[in-house]
Amino acid sequence: MWTQTQIESVDLRAKQVRLSTGETLQSIGIIIATGVRRRRLNVPGEAEFAGRGVIESATRARDLVAGEDVCVVGGGDAAAENALLLAEVCPTVTLVHRGKKLGAREQFVERIKGEHCITVFTGATLQHILGKEHVEAVEILREGALKPFRMAVRGVLIRVGVEPNTELFGDQIHMDARGYVVVTGEQETSAENVFAVGDVSNPLAPTISGATGAGATAAKVLAARLNRR
Note whether 41 and 225 are within 8 A (CB): no
Packing angle, helices 77-87 and 106-113, rounded to 10: 30
CATH class held by domain 7-37+165-227 = alpha beta
205 or 44, which is more confident: 44
Residue 206: is its pLDDT beyond 90? no
Q: DSSP alpha helices (H): ranges in 95-189?
A: 106-113
- Cβ-based burial of 223 (10 A; exposed 0-12, middle 13-18, buried ≥19): exposed
- Alpha helices (H) in 106-179, listed in sequence order: 106-113
pLDDT in tens, 71-124: 999 999 999 999 999 999 999 999 999 999 999 999 999 999 999 999 999 999
135: amino acid identity, one letter: V
State the burial class of residue 140 (Cβ atoms within 10 Å of its Cβ: 0-12, 13-18, 19+).
buried
Task: Give domain limits for the chain.
Answer: 7-37+165-227, 54-158
> Looking at residue 1, what is its pLDDT?
58
Whether 7-37+165-227 and 54-158 share one fold: the answer is yes
Per-residue pLDDT at 4 exceeds 80: no
Over range 211-217, report the average pLDDT: 96
CA–CA dist 62, 174 (Å, integer): 41
**In the chain, where does DSSP find H-type helix?**
62-65, 77-87, 106-113, 208-227
Instruction: For residue range 21-39, list pLDDT tens digits in order.
Output: 899 999 999 999 999 999 9
- pLDDT of 197 > 80? The answer is yes
pTM: 0.83
Interatomic CA distance for residues 71 and 92, integer angstroms: 8
At CB < 8 A and 24+ separation, what contacts does 215-219 make? 215/31, 215/33, 217/186, 217/187, 218/31, 218/186, 218/187, 218/188, 219/31
Name the CATH architecture for the domain at 54-158. Answer: 3-Layer(bba) Sandwich (3.50)
The DSSP bridge partners found for residue 36 are 164
Per the DSSP assignment, residues forming a β-bridge with 124 are 142
The pLDDT value given to residue 149: 97
Distance between terminal CA atoms of the chain? 28
pLDDT, tens digit (0-9, with 9 covering 90-100), for 157-192? 999 999 999 999 999 999 999 999 999 999 999 999
Report the C-alpha gap between 32 and 218 in whole angstroms: 10
Quick one: what percent of the chain has pLDDT higher than 90?
A: 92
